[in-house]
Structure 1
Amino acid sequence: MAVKKLSESFCKISSEVVQKWGSMKQTGVSLRYMMDFGSNPTDKNLLISAQFLHKELPIRIARRAIELETLPYGLSEKPAVLKVRDWYLESFGELRSFPDIKDSSDELAFTQMIKMIKVRHNNVVPAMALGVQQLKKDLNPKVLPGDLEEIHQFLDRFYMSRIGIRMLIGQHVALHDPNPQPGRVGHIHCKMSPMEVAENASEDARAICLREYGSAPDVNIYGDPDFTFPYVSSHLHLMVFELVKNSLRAVQERFMNSDNDVPPVRIIVADGVEDVTIKISDEGGGIPRSGLPKIFTYLYSTAKNPLEEKTDLEGATEGVIMAGYGYGLPISRLYARYFGGDLQIISMEGYGTDAYLHLSRLGDSQEPLP
């Protein structure tokens, strides 16, 4: 069925057109530019933004569609990956067939369309994860995750590009909000408190830990509660949530049958000149050195795999995709790198793990465009 649908898509858009757009140069934007531009969402600015996206989005989407055709080890043929490719081609076709944007009514129609494109792509991460799982089942067990370097590099590019596409669409759509939250420019929080985001993300992670184990270690947060800087708080929430969730699980499992006091997870927020660094420390026993290279691959997880239980992608939501199939850490690192930061994990086997989340506070770095 997927293949049939694809050939229908290709009737509407020839592969030459996709190739042509995919070979065009992408244009990156910085957090600071998004903030400056969006702080005055006049009709004229919204029109300029829509005209930019009308040309930029098909280039980015075409690049991913082309890559989805040529993945190694037969990954391109997996049903879940064919489905993702269909979504990309459909979105490319819609963007290309949308006429030039000349006035506000064109701009509003375009905004509605890209809003629907964003929804269509909600389940790309679980779909790709399912495709990789299907591939893992078929592969010779002698092929180790390290041998699948090409697939890891593709997924890094693919998900980084997806973060950028969703940020651009989300930012443009949010500028239409008739009652924007004070201190926000679209998705960007001009005076975001990393302490506050860390508290909320920790509470969410503890709730999951409580649900799963019946109890959860404490999380202690240290830093200046008055310190703020411009950032996308939903990105930071996602990263801190993922790191704290991993720490809670490690501590909980290590001390589950112990009479000793359960040590808290500690979060330290440091405000530097160039970077804001958030350190998340646990005493969950650490990761053996041989396991460290695996933690940023897409084929490794110590948790139970939810995809084996649930293969219906239509019902999945963006919220549940971070738990259990080994994607939390590599995707969190991409979110950090998207605005010029990084994520590092340092482990002491037999004691615990420190995660260092570096966030660039200058806001000038261009999107890394794969």
Structure 2
Amino acid sequence: MAARKFYESFSKSLIDDVRKWGSMKQTGVSLRNMMEFCSKTTEKNLLISAQFLHKELPIRIARRAIELESLPYGLSEKPAVLKVHDWYLDSFRDLRSFPSIKTSSDELEFTKMIKMIKVRHNNVVPMMALGVQQLKKGLHPKIGYENLDEIHQFLDRFYMSRIGIRMLIGQHVALHDPNPAPNCVGYIHTKMSPLQVAKAAGEDARAICLREYGSAPEVDIYGDPNFTFPYVPTHLELMVFELVKNSLRAVQEKFMDSDKLTPPVKIIVADGIEDVTIKVSDEGGGISRSGLSKIFTYLYSTARNPLDEESDLGTADLTTTMAGYGYGLPISRLYARYFGGDLQVISMEGYGTDAYLHLSRLGDSQEPLP
């Protein structure tokens, strides 16, 4: 029954093609590869990049499409997951039906097409969250969803792969920018100031806290303002935003009705030889040890769930609705790991929480390909 639902609008030859491409080997790239390869944006480089993506993207997309078909507990048949599966098959079909890329005009057409693919997949995260919500409603109450290891492992692989696909497409598309920012190679900033990015992310998180609660703790930042290293600013901003937002919420809720002075959230940036580490520190009361084991599982959240109020997430804005469906921390950790870093959270229940974001300085770790 499920198979018919899946494939009613897709030909058998396309499904066979998905199987074939899904069994091919993926090719990982590193931040350093991307930077060195794209440091000179020539027609030849753009052509080579497009030819690489023309072969690589169908492999990665086919693997995810296949995996979406056989998820445990009937997750594959949930309407939201079926929709995501269709997006992957549509994108696979678009890529496979695109002819060989031989000239600059072919490359421009291809770039237009992959840009559309990226937009098509914009809401994959909230849509998958909705699918897991749909699953959760029908599950036996005795199955605690934090214990659904298979589903958590699948989502980790799925989202890690998505980060990689979006990075490859975004990087290629950004190389066409007629007025690139200074020191930028596509998505990569070769002299990124982590302090500046952390400051901007902290201000964004504070604005959201002010909007939701009417007031917000201060955010204090410490570190060397002149220190820079190559990284992807959008990735770092997303991670720091998430950590600061969680800290602000914890402090705000702890001190809301208190006459004590509200303590600030602190961001500390340290530059080591191998890693750049960013610590986000709060005095928001901390997380219990039993709760700490759940914070990196999907759909564990202490905030109210926005999916309960929005059944159609076609237009949901991912960054602002991040609080609530429990995806912020696990996805931030995937972003950190994508370029060889990590995210750790250490908590003192009754006092506060420290989150350590480790970013690899060397830039030569390969993508972790699921």
TM range (shorter): over 0.9
Matching residue of 1:10? 10
Q: What letter matches 2:177 in structure 1?
A: D
Identity over aligned pairs, percent: 80
Question: Secondary structure of 1:296's match?
Answer: coil
In structure 2, how many angstroms separate the alpha carbons of the residues matched to 1:13 and 1:252? 56
What do residues 257-307 of structure 1 show as CA deviations (whole Å, max 9, x unaligned)? 111110001111000000000000000000000111100000211001111
Partner of 1:346: 346
Quote the Cα distance in structure 2 between the aligned partners of 1:13 and 1:228.
50
TM, length-normalised to structure 2: 0.98
8 Å contact 1:338–1:368 — kept in the other structure? yes
Paired position in structure 2 for 1:253: 253
Contact 1:9–1:90 (Cα < 8 Å) also in 2: no
Normalised TM-score (structure 1): 0.98
Aligned to 1:307: 307
CA distance in 1, matches of 2:263, 2:85: 46
Q: Unaligned 5+ residue runs, structure 2? A: none
User: Is the contact between residue 192 and residue 229 of structure 1 (CA under 8 Å) also seen in structure 2?
Assistant: yes
- Number of aligned positions between the proteins: 369
Q: Counterpart amino acid of 1:139?
A: L
Structure 2 SS opposite 1:304: coil
| 1:254 to 1:13, Cα distance in 2 relative to 1, 3 A | farther
Counterpart residue number, 2:359: 359
Between the aligned partners of 1:348 and 1:316, the Cα distance in structure 2 is 34
Residue in structure 2 matched with residue 94 of structure 1 by the alignment: 94
Q: Counterpart of 1:260 in structure 2: which amino acid?
A: K
Contact between 2:146 and 2:298, CA under 8 Å: does it hold in 1?
no
Residues 163 and 335 in structure 2, CA contact (< 8 A), matched pair in contact too: yes
Task: Tell me if the contact between 2:340 and 2:359 (Cα under 8 Å) persists in the aligned partners.
Answer: yes
User: How has the CA–CA distance of structure 1 residues 3 and 316 changed in structure 2, closer, same or farther, with 3 Å as cutoff?
Assistant: farther
| CA apart distance, 1:312 | 1.6
* Separation of aligned partners in 1, 2:328 and 2:86: 25
More helix by share: 1
Question: Which residue is equivalent to 1:68?
Answer: 68
What is the CA distance between 1:308 and its match in structure 2? 1.1
Q: Is the 8 A contact 1:195 1:225 kept in 2?
A: yes
Partner residue, 1:208: 208
The 1:162/1:287 distance shift into structure 2, 3 A limit, reads same
Q: 1:142 maps to what in 2?
A: 142
Other-structure match for 1:266: 266
Question: Using the alignment, how far apart are the partners of 1:345 and 1:7 within structure 2?
Answer: 42
**How do 1:31-50 residues align onto structure 2 when only pairs under 5 Å count?**
31-50=31-50
Give the distance between the partners of 2:9 and 2:341, measured in 1 at CA: 38
Q: Which runs of 5+ in 1 are unaligned?
A: none
The within-5 A match list for 1:11-30 is 11=11, 13-30=13-30
**Is the Cα–Cα contact under 8 Å of residues 60 and 161 in structure 2 kept in the other structure?**
yes
Once the two structures are overlaid, the 10-residue window that deviates more, 4-13 or 205-214, is: 4-13
Q: CA deviation at 1:144?
A: 1.2
Moved more, 35-44 or 6-15: 6-15
